[in-house]
Structure 1
């Protein structure tokens, strides 16, 4: 059950006060938001409650009396006196689930340690589920936005214009990719999300692998990595292990391209490693990030786990990520899902076919999400100057 204070429920439209005779607004240190209280008998409060409200959140202590709770079809008296300590108490409503209805609370005198008192404190309500927003998105402040997606709730930067906009429009990012994930990821699996962004796919993987599985979410950009952490917490994904690093062929550091995170319209997920920048030069304005091979990150964060699936989306740095996971490829033969971008990979200093050569050396077979590619021995033949991208699904025969 989810608890919410009176003040929060009022501000979110989950209830409204119909009539009030003798109840006052108050603050209580154990409750986030405004609560309601009364100090005399026969104080009456009528509240119209939404369908999500299934119980009343009341306080029991030594100065409490009795509250009479009336609904359309029921009337009960609930003793609230408790001699020893303050106790949070939830009283289920007999008409829970009956849609919108009016509930009336009336204070009743009760013998207690101090007969002059008959307090009743209404802290708030117990909810069956968290109500959905009227729209999927809510601007929290000038920097952040809250989005309710099909796979979870997400905090994003307000200026991030691509993936968050897709969540608002469609409910998820890259639903065709998610269908592939669902075919290859099972409960109990361990998954790598290399280039996790703000954690949308990490949350998807978390829910696919369940409580016995794990997700290593690797993200290089500091503000975006912070969102990955926040979204893991927001969705209760305790099986996500966020790592702030760039994954590559060896240890060291790299410089990211410069970006303004306060920009009004930007695609922060498109930011990559600047291959022309020299790490340690502060005049480039890009962020310097630690570089680690995936094999070493696994030994530090997932020792002993067999990895079944790897998603890589790191803006043309994919070859170097794969070069840093040779031990993993030889040991576990995980299914690989990665983006291929010939133009940008050429700018990063390599030919995209090198990815296919590396994976084929470990026995992988290839399928592609983009139809009608001209294939030679299973490898698309595209001029490096052609601005085209596709996703590669590489599956080892041992996984069939």
Structure 2
């Protein structure tokens, strides 16, 4: 009908209404004419008047429902269709259209029931079968959806839309060949359907046939230049190809056409992360929570943390995605604690023991546990919430620690210079696994390099490749030792190097600070960025990238060369170490070349944390360094959780500096260590050890500390007599050298992270002389407490200062000692200390027993 004819019709119907205002049929006809004209609001008003005049006027109810459906007033449409059905329960079309409206609302069960009723009333309705299939598919019931589509096609063999939907259902089942065949059938029937071209592109992209996918996406856009889905999908393929700039153009076009398009925002965020624009990249990836396929945490958006100060509130941090993501982003837990939060972490059971070593976590729970909290944040939202940029990535390594003692010790064949762990496959369920994983056969080129002991860190079905390739003698399979990630961490800690594809074990090695060579696809995951051999996330990681997509052989050629160079360097180092050892041991055969007099009391050795000069007659420290290459390593393991670059640390009772040297390395060039040692000879040894390790950020003081400024006598010991010292008493009654006494408060420290205190029973006096500093700066305190007669007064004083206290008792003998010496000369002797955290601090500890003060 022409516009002129419509105008005449409208005028005629209005004239009829003027003549008879109660003419419901005239109002219905006027509504039809107005709807044809596009004047929907007035059409609706006419239909409403018609049903007001005649509540049983089925046609008017039906017309009104259809218009409401068109303009997405779904509640009104549903009410009108239901009114039609109440008047005529056998109206198949009304049931069908009611199903359409209910489906738009997401009421799938009700929509399915309506479609099924329509089919009962009209078994030959192909469209009802097709829409029933859509609802079933959206519900996740793919088998029934496929059956419904097939019935639609049986009724109408030329039903292109049903073929397209059938292809989509098979694609969801990952039956890509079947999906492609049905898409192509749909195109045969309707070659100009842009949606089918787009779906074919998706199927080919999932098969890894990227050029075919691109061709179909481009054809979809040629047919429909305003098709946001095709722009997004083409952009996604360009990301896979590493064409980041081109992908951004396409994704921005998708967002111009559809501003609230979550998938396009997410993909745009990935492109920005590749380029290092973390601020905008992480902001865009927050759209992932609106993507249907994404894992839902079912946590209230209203309680999402915004980064503000937490002021003691409980915050739940949730490991939302894979194992590797959890390991990468658990580094943020201490930063959240520093914002005043009481941190609860929800993680996978296999990571619980590992994450127990992270500072600042108050409680660890497994996925799905019901827990009370005030606010929450998903792990991968933390970089956005905390404003992480490329320059401010928290990369203080290690932030994870292996269990102590190790649950097992790696077997090392004789003559090996390097212990290397390998991983060749990730989780096969990951959509990108076909790009990131490789076959164990790719590692064969490096397994024949001599003097390297190889260990498989691989888990799961892929471990079968070890026996399939017959290389069990070349690679020790450790998989049976791994019950969780803490066990894997214990293995990694005993290795010199890990070589891995992009898996959770790679993240684990990086988080432990272990040297890691990561072999990568030409275009890897966003976190490894593009065209660089390092990563700001893990300072000890080296990246080996494919130069050509899929070419692992060339990558491993470079890895082999690097390994051979490492072996050559190790051989040179081993020769040097052997010569040095020959010079420094008591059994040296070339006495004229020794660096130290063999009849003296001092020895010099390369130990776990540096080169140390020590007295072999020292009952504990000297003997431990001499036999084990370390002293009280369990204490250093604890310090690693708290001491960070830039800190100021006081080492009071530093002795010869075993812990001082560690502190100096841990605080870095921007940090400071102040070491105090009153015994003159030991003080000289302390200074020598700092010099031997080229340390310049540490200040040494040959003074004692106490509760008031003054002086005290230090005994003069016979350092040549075996086992004659291991702890000294200070006091005016003692014969010896007079040394100055100062107080910590007299130092007027501007800040302080940690005070370590080991002064042979004088700990309380030192704390009393530090009371102003402690109240002002609230540092972490680590205090020796092995004198029973003084323990209660010491604990009571610390409690009065507002400190929470935890026992830290470590054996002097460590089975996993640096020299791998199995002989335990110390028996059950332990070092007894207390770790003290101020009650106002957000720092928490796990695995330590709280100190209980008796009434």
Which aligned pairs between 1:18-57 and structure 2 lie closer than 5 A? none
Inter-partner Cα distance in structure 2 for 1:266 and 1:135: 27
Corresponding residue for 1:245?
703
Correspondence for 2:792 among 345, 353, 359: 353
Alignment of 1:204-353 (within 5 A): 204-267=662-725, 269-274=726-731, 276-277=733-734, 284=735, 286-296=736-746, 298-299=747-748, 303-304=749-750, 306-343=751-788, 346=789, 351-353=790-792
Aligned-residue RMSD, C-alpha: 2.9
Shift of 1:327: 1.4
Which string of whole-angstrom CA distances, capped at 9 and with x for unpartnered residues, describes residues 258-291 of structure 1? 4212223333x412213644xxxxxx2x221111
- Say whether the 8 Å CA contact 2:671–2:697 is kept in structure 1: yes
Greater relative contact order: 1 or 2 (C-alpha under 8 angstroms, separation 6 or more)? 1
Question: Structure 2, unaligned stretches of length 5 or more?
Answer: 1-563, 587-595, 811-828, 844-855
* Cα separation, 2, equivalents of 1:145 and 1:169: 12
Matched, 1:396 2:838: yes
Are residue 131 (structure 1) and residue 577 (structure 2) matched? yes
Structure with more helix by fraction: 2
Using the TM superposition, give the Cα deviation of residue 167 of structure 1 relative to its aligned residue in structure 2, in angstroms. 1.6
> What secondary structure sits across from 1:338 in the alignment?
strand
Q: Distance in 2 between matches of 1:194 and 1:153?
A: 21
Residue 162 of structure 1: CA displacement? 2.0
Larger strand share, 1 or 2: 1
For 1:395, what is the secondary structure of its paired residue?
Answer: strand
TM-score (normalizing by structure 2)? 0.27
Indicate the SS of the match to 1:256: strand
1:157 to partner: Cα distance: 2.7
Quote the Cα distance in structure 2 between the aligned partners of 1:366 and 1:98: 47
CA distance in 1, matches of 2:667, 2:692: 18
Match of 1:175 in 2: 633
Local SS of the residue matching 2:784: strand
Q: How many residues align?
A: 247
CA contact (8 A) 1:136 1:149 kept: no
Write the distance in 2 (CA, Å) between the matches of 1:199 and 1:191.
Answer: 13
How has the CA–CA distance of structure 1 residues 201 and 389 changed in structure 2, closer, same or farther, with 3 Å as cutoff? closer
1:197 aligns with 655
> Quick check: 2:654–2:677 contact (8 Å CA) kept in 1?
yes
- Structure 1 contact 147–168 (Cα < 8 Å) conserved: yes
- Check the 8 A contact 1:214/1:240 in 2, yes or no: yes
Aligned to 1:236, what secondary structure does the other structure show?
coil
Question: What SS class does the counterpart of residue 264 from structure 1 fall into?
Answer: coil
Judge conservation of contact 1:330–1:362 (CA < 8 Å) in 2.
Answer: yes
**Cα distance in 1, alignment partners of residues 769 and 722 from structure 2:** 36
Deviation at 1:215, TM superposition (A): 0.6
Secondary structure of the corresponding residue to residue 641 of structure 2: helix
Q: 1:212 to 1:356 in 2, by over 3 A?
A: same
| CA deviation string 1:231-251 (max 9, x = no partner) | 111111111110110000001
Quick one: which of 638, 642, 666 aligns to 1:184? 642
Label 1:212 to 1:138 Cα distance change in 2 as closer, same or farther (>3 A).
Answer: farther
The whole-number CA distance in structure 1 between the counterparts of 2:716 and 2:806 is 34
1:166 equivalent in structure 2: 624
Q: Is the 8 A contact 1:342 1:389 kept in 2?
A: no
> CA 1:289–1:165 in structure 2 vs 1: closer, same or farther (change >3 Å)?
same
Cα 1:389–1:233 change in 2 (3 A) is closer
Most deviating of 204-213 and 167-176: 167-176
CA distance in 2, matches of 1:96, 1:388: 42
**Where has structure 1 moved over 6 Å in runs of 4 or more?**
95-98, 126-130
Q: In 2, distance between residues paired with 1:168 and 1:127?
A: 21
Note the C-alpha offset of 1:202.
0.2
Q: CA deviation at 1:370?
A: 4.0
Task: Compute the displacement of 1:224 (Å).
Answer: 0.5
Q: Secondary structure at the match of 1:357?
A: helix
Query: Contact 2:584/2:604 (CA < 8 Å) preserved in 1?
Result: yes
Counterpart-to-counterpart distance in 2, 1:171 and 1:134 = 13
Task: Specify the SS of the correspondent of 1:223.
Answer: helix
Q: 1:158: Cα distance to partner?
A: 4.0
2:614 is matched with which residue?
156
Q: Which residue of 2 aligns with 1:5?
A: none
The 8 Å contact of residues 216 and 240 in structure 1, kept in 2 or not, is answered as: yes
What CA distance in whole angstroms lies between the structure 1 residues aligned with 2:752 and 2:794?
19
Aligned mates of 1:333, 1:152 — CA distance in 2: 31
1:369 partner SS: strand
Given that 1:136 and 1:147 are in contact with CA atoms closer than 8 Å, whether structure 2 keeps it comes out as no
> Contact (CA 8 Å) 2:617, 2:623: kept in 1 or not?
no
